[in-house]
Amino acid sequence: MIKLKTLSFLLILTLFSCFKKEGKEIETNILSKTQIDQIERGYGMFIHFGVNTFNETEWSNGKLPASSYKPTDLDCDQWIKIAKDAGFRYVILVTKHHDGFSLWDSKYTDYDVASSPVKTDVVAEVAKACKKYGIKLGLYYSLWDRHEPSYKNTEAYNGYMKNQLTELMTNYGDICELWFDGGWDKKDDEWNLPEIYKYVKEMQPNCLITVNHTIGKPENHSAIRQPKNYTKGDPIRYFPVDFRIKDPNLARWNDPKYYNRDGKEHYLAFEHTICISDRWNWFQKKNVLAARPLDELEELFYWGTSNDNIMIVNVPPDLTGKIRTNEKLRILELADRLNIRGGTNKLPKGPENLIFNKKIIASSQVDKHNAEKAIDFSLETYWTANDSIANLEIDFEKEITFDRISLFEKAKMRSLGDGFSSIRDFNVQEYELQTYSNGKWDTFYKGEIIGACKIINLPVEITAEKIRLNILKSKENPSISHISIANNKTKGFRSVSL
């Protein structure tokens, strides 16, 4: 009893500090313990798997035959063991994508695993493995269904959804999160989200619920706000929800948390999504694809879990029904670099960036992609030079001491012709970094390819007044989305800062 009272008192103090920080008390949606738990989890694994996996597509139209779903060596236990080893705290399993194919034996459709050559209830197997390895289970469920005959009849289809959600929420144990996606395909009020939200909460009171493309003006898909532009008090499009998503975009480093619905503010954390693949594909393809560079994954981890936000990494099983070795090894490499192998250690936080919004000048720039975009609070803005040889010069305003530099090069996206997938091409082929101190410039690093991300950890600290990035050779005019200058001594452990 004493422990319970102490916990309650600490929770009240935490919530009060949150309210005080914003300067006024929030009238509704006071942070629940489950919302705090989500922020503390911080890091999860997305699992896209289904009929698309076997048909070389991302979004299918609901007409692919269930007979094409045929993993040859399905091993859900392997998925969750990898998640545990890689330091993930939870998984989000895609139970039904836009195609309508269900990964469990649903009584309400014949377009599911029970109608395929491999009848294993994937949701059940994943739930069992999550319990075995001590991983929380979350589920993704597409509102949009391109197969179900009742879809165009709002009342009938909402009944269909409730039937399927009843199966998912009552047969597989505790569910920590429920993702809805595809809401843009109908008018917002046709989903009857308040009723669906209440219905799910009655079955799973601790399940946090969200809808993709959360923030923006209701009934106006073109007015969806991009996370780089979020401001406090922006309208919540889909409501009620417990947190925000807008995959695959990244929020600003100083991402705000309070959003408005019907004149009331609500605290909503942001859950980032990235793909382990270097090609931004959610469902696995027949050919083995390269994984993202380790440096990029590390920096995206720090970015995605900062400021009380959350990040999930999509690690999709292939046509055999297993996670591929090259992607398994990369996610384990990341776990080792972050020192979270096995999920026992605290999540780390990245070192403090010392140059956000400092004075910066460029040798040349393109309109709307000026030099300031290379050191602002967004990874989705960028500087572009107006020449293949160019430089950026950053004035620290006073001497700083650093031993870590991170460079993000903005990619040129090349379509792969399927209407969805693309590959990233990078331009920089040779560059150098210089510091300015005591009236002179000194080159301390020279490299060739920057690529998606390059982390440079120096063997000694450097103290300087300015830094300059000189791009000496580039295939086309280069673009830089972010530069970070930091000192590794400022690294620590992530903590909830409410």
Residue 49 β-bridge partners:
none
For residue 151, pLDDT beyond 60? yes
Nearest 5°: phi and psi at 7? Answer: -60, -45
Q: Is the dihedral of CA 119, 120, 122, 124 positive or negative?
A: positive
Quote the pLDDT of residue 66: 98
Lowest mean pLDDT among 188-202, 331-345, 412-426, 428-442: 412-426
Quote the pLDDT of residue 7: 39
Nearest 5°: phi and psi at 178? Answer: -130, 120
Lowest mean pLDDT among 80-84, 165-169, 279-283: 279-283
For residue 280, pLDDT beyond 90? no
CA distance 145 to 61: 9
For residue 159, pLDDT beyond 90? yes
Average pLDDT rounded to a whole number, residues 95-110 = 98
pLDDT in tens, 33-76: 999 999 999 999 999 999 999 999 999 999 999 999 999 999 99
Quote the pLDDT of residue 10: 40
CATH 3.30.70.380 holds for 359-487: no
Quote the pLDDT of residue 496: 81
CA distance 147 to 51: 12
Confidence bin at 220 (pLDDT 50/70/90): low
For residue 357, pLDDT beyond 60? yes
CA distance 160 to 148: 9
Q: Is the dihedral of CA 66, 68, 74, 77 positive or negative?
A: negative
Residue 447 β-bridge partners:
431
Domain ranges in the chain are: 24-349, 359-487
Length of the chain: 498
Nearest 5°: phi and psi at 82? Answer: -65, -40
pLDDT in tens, 381-411: 999 999 999 999 999 999 999 999 999 999 9
Domains 24-349 and 359-487 share a fold: no
Q: Which CATH architecture has domain 24-349?
A: Alpha-Beta Barrel (3.20)
Cβ pair 358, 375 in contact under 8 A: yes
CA distance 292 to 174: 32
Tokens for 363, please give them: 């040798």
